[in-house]
Amino acid sequence: MIIINLKPMPSRSSNALPETSAYYFSSLASWHLTSHPHMWRPPTDVYETEDKYVVIVEIAGMDEENFSVTLDQNMLTISGERPGTMERKSFHQMEIYFGEFVTEVELPSPVDANRCVAEYTQGFLWVSLPKTTPKNIIIHEEE
């Protein structure tokens, strides 16, 4: 079973940058600055349905306990380590990454953290993040 760790929403001033491992700045170009330059990023798809966001990470050759899935406000972070072989080899071509990896997905709107689920099957990690529904607030008139 994969456990999704939820981080509480910290209180901070409006001048502070988000306390995540990546910062996103937008201007003419989008730059993704990360504090994990030695890690690789597996292929990741993100799509949206009417009621949820779905994140799919292609990461074959792992076990469920090798993943860490964390939801911190609107930032989903999936990290882990794919083991490599210790056998010495002389590669002619090397395209399969191993070692530590991280992928971060910024969600465009709030999700229901208590209903998020993750499943690893046939080399793909599927994370389902149900959207929250806005609550209507009833306005009462004073008599």
The answer to whether 129 and 107 have CB atoms below 8 angstroms apart is yes
Instruction: Give the Cα separation of 87 and 106 in Å (integer).
Output: 38
CATH of domain 1-6+44-84+94-133: 2.60.40.790
If you ran DSSP here, which 8-state letter would residue 41 be given? -
Write down the pTM of the prediction: 0.70
pLDDT, one tens digit per residue, over 3-53 is 667 665 554 444 444 444 344 333 334 444 445 567 899 999 999 999 999
